[in-house]
């Protein structure tokens, strides 16, 4: 069996670090471990891992500072794994350049799924194929970006121009959490008022059109206080 991607774990708690490393090794990933920010800064350019799993509470620096520094010279996928479960910490990490955020404790299936999503998304960016074949499919949702067409269960869904832009933006980063401010800036521009109400209204309309049960969505999920995430594509 061939080895999968290389994963760098930046975690200073031995028990957690060993647990993650064992899980990844069992799934045939190559694993590199370190417990300080200084080591991570040296290992990232020398080993070029496909994904970095970053704890925010490092002994020599705050993980957010490490995140900001690394983002100055690489777009490598970084998944924050932290005990900080408050909304402010999540938003700060995502706005500082994190690709995803997982709160401890977490399940191994969730961790592996987030890693697969990060690797797949990064591969698209590197190859220039943001939308493979210009389409997106997840369960019964199908999007044709060139034709501006959305289809659910074989039936066409009419979206307004803004609604289509929102769905397309989320589909482009399927599996990744996009913060409210990021979405507003991308859709309404950098000088738009960061008012979540207009975004929520549009998302509610989209869910009524796409979801069987808007209260229990299958495609677009809310990360409370943080943003939205589209179901990972097939």
pLDDT of residue 1: 39
pTM of the model: 0.64
Residue pointed to by tokens 């938003």 = 91
pLDDT of residue 2: 45
Per residue in 152-189, pLDDT tens?
A: 999 999 998 889 889 999 998 888 889 998 898 888 77
Instruction: Work out the number of other CB atoms within 10 angstroms of the CB of residue 72.
Output: 7
Structure tokens at 204: 């509610």
What residues in the chain have per-residue pLDDT under 50? Answer: 1-2, 127-132
pLDDT of residue 204: 95
Per residue in 8-21, pLDDT tens?
A: 999 999 999 999 99
Q: Which domains does the chain have, with CATH numbers?
A: 6-127 (3.40.50.2300), 132-230 (1.10.10.10)
């Amino acid at each position: 069996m061939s080895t999968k991607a290389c994963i760098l774990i930046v975690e200073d708690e031995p028990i957690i670090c060993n647990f993650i490393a064992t899980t990844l090794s069992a799934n045939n990933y190559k694993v590199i471990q370190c417990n300080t920010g200084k080591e991570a800064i040296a290992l990232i350019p020398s080993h070029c891992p496909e994904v970095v799993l970053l704890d925010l509470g490092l002994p020599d620096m705050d993980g957010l500072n490490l995140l900001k520094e690394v983002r100055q010279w690489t777009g490598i996928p970084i998944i924050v794994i932290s005990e900080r479960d408050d909304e402010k910490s999540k938003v700060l990490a995502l706005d500082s350049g994190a690709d995803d955020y997982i709160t401890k404790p977490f399940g191994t299936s969730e961790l592996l799924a987030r890693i697969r999503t990060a690797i797949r998304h990064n591969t698209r960016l590197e190859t220039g194929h943001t939308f493979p074949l210009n389409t997106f499919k997840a369960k019964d949702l199908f999007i044709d970006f060139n034709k501006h067409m959305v289809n659910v269960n074989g039936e066409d869904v009419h979206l307004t121009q803004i609604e289509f832009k929102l769905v397309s933006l989320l589909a482009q980063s399927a599996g990744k959490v996009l913060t409210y401010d990021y979405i507003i800036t991308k859709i309404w521009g950098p000088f738009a008022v960061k008012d979540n109400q207009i975004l929520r209204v549009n998302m509610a309309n989209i869910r009524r059109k796409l979801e069987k049960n808007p209260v229990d969505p299958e495609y677009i999920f809310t990360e409370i206080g943080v943003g939205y995430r589209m179901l990972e594509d097939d």
